[in-house]
Amino acid sequence: MKFPWSRDDRPVGLDELEPISVVDIGSNSVRLVVYEGAIRSPAPLFNEKVLCGLGRTVASTGKLDADAVERAIEALRRFHAINRVLSVKNVRVIATAAVREAANGPEFIARGEEAIGARIAVLSGAREAELAAMGTLMGIPNANGIAGDLGGGSLELIDVASAKSTASATLPLGGLRLIDTSGNKLDKAIEIVDASLAELPWLSAGEGRTFYAVGGTWRSLARLHMDLRKYPLRVMHGYSIESRACIDFCDSIRRAKKIADIRGIEDIARPRREVLPYGALVLERLLRRMKPKEVVFSVFGVREGLVFSLLSPAERERDPLLAYCEDHARLHSRSLAHARELCTWTDAVFSEPGPRESAEEQRLRHAACLLSDVGWRAHPDHRGEQSLNIVAHAGLGGIDHEGRIFLALTVYFRHVGTGRVSGAEDELPTALKSLVSRRTLKRARILGAAIRSAHMLSIGRPGIIDETPLTYEGGKLVLTLPPTHRDLDGERLRRRFEVLAQLVDQRPEIRYS
């Protein structure tokens, strides 16, 4: 079966992709990310960041800080060497607010291009906002709200809806810039932020929608919020906070007497800590004015937007979650063909009179099927836990945290077993289970049991389960085995199939055709 998200001509290994290097020269950090290639969900091959603080004094002096310039040039030389070691030919270098606005920006560009061995494109504020929107859409394809990318020098805001961007703006509200313009006084910074936001009446269009927070400072705030909640899934992308709760949290960060006393601050890089109160201030004032329903944090930003802009129209249309899962299955499962067969075979389990599912739930089920065998090389005693950890913390896009946990629970149950008779589910960390609805947990148990039965029948090889259909008949869940596969019947298969049937409130029957 040909799936809309599948692509048969996808290169088999990393050696057959052409890596892309993106160097982002920001007002606070200079970062290199080398992606595996121009595909819908590229994995980073290498990622390095140097917090240089180029924009620290641009507002007051009009120039890039001299010491910061030297650190940035040194970082660019190293990045050039890394690109050479990785044989990267496609190198894209961008510079943002600090370089764009500084009087000595052209001089820095000349030195920087020599150091990195490539042309440096200085982005306009409008282009930076556009790439931030494209990056958000790369990771959250159905994004509907306002995206904000907070850097050291500026804040880019753009309305994103139905995969299109409309209103946008660039404001001088980056953390380092606010420290400079306010004289490092938070009360003064509030006035500056409020005055800038007041010039954007279109922000009211964000009321009741989602605000997508992009940028290292805001991700650091999300990390601190996770520490405060003792949140067990330490994944930034897709982490969400209800708007009122986020306002209160940001207010507490801004009013903290000592940054060192904030819970979890030891996990935040020291050069990042000084801008945290200002990043919290900007987010708080923005949320008060915009009144969104929630804040969702995105690790996809300008760099990912640049990669997205290089994709073909057909590649852009691929589902980022399913594209990632298929690529992951191709590289780490015993058989991609079998994983695809699971998608079709389990369709029957979730058809009438079985559990109903929405289009989004079907999409997540197919993703779980694709990832169901990625832990096969682990020791049998630990496959469940290791598979759960791999999937829960994978670099997935196009998915929220509940969906991510559903995938992780499914592959966990696929290995350790589940159902009314096993008791194995009691081993699952209670914290993860508490983050999802009862419906999601039940669906994970059912799908895990279905995949567990399928693997016992097919031995993980393609060409078997597509010839052994599942059907519902008169209160029974029926598995039909043709003559060629009758000898695969056995006690362990029947036990696993019985668990599956019980989970969908049916009696099990294995029938020979």
In DSSP terms, 44 is beta-bridged to 35
Topology at the third CATH level for domain 126-304: Nucleotidyltransferase; domain 5 (3.30.420)
Q: Where are the domains of the chain?
A: 20-122, 126-304, 319-462
Residue 164 pLDDT > 70, yes or no?
no
**Is 319-462 in the same CATH topology as 20-122?**
no
Share of the chain above pLDDT 90, in %: 84
pLDDT band at 166 (very low <50, low <70, confident <90, very high): low
The strand pair at 507-512 and 476-481 is best described as: parallel
Note whether 329 and 339 are within 8 A (CB): yes
Residue 70 pLDDT > 70, yes or no?
yes
- What CATH superfamily is the domain 319-462? Hypothetical protein af1432 (1.10.3210.10)
User: Backbone phi, then psi, for 292, in 5-degree steps?
Assistant: -75, 165
In degrees to the nearest 10, what's the CA dihedral of 311, 312, 318, 323?
A: -50
In DSSP notation, 149-182 reads EE-SS-EEEEEEETTEEEEEEEES--HHHHHHHT
List pLDDT tens digits, range 83-101: 999 999 999 999 999 999 9
The token duo for 157 is: 């805001």
Note whether 289 and 197 are within 8 A (CB): yes
List pLDDT tens digits, range 243-265: 999 999 999 999 988 888 888 89
What pLDDT shows up at residue 425?
45
What pLDDT shows up at residue 512?
95
Please provide the distance, in angstroms rounded to a whole number, between the alpha carbons at the two ends of the chain.
23
Note whether 343 and 3 are within 8 A (CB): yes
Residue 163 pLDDT > 60, yes or no?
no
Note whether 100 and 129 are within 8 A (CB): no
d(Cα 123, Cα 95) in Å, to the nearest integer? 6
- What CATH superfamily is the domain 20-122? ATPase, nucleotide binding domain (3.30.420.40)
What pLDDT shows up at residue 15?
56
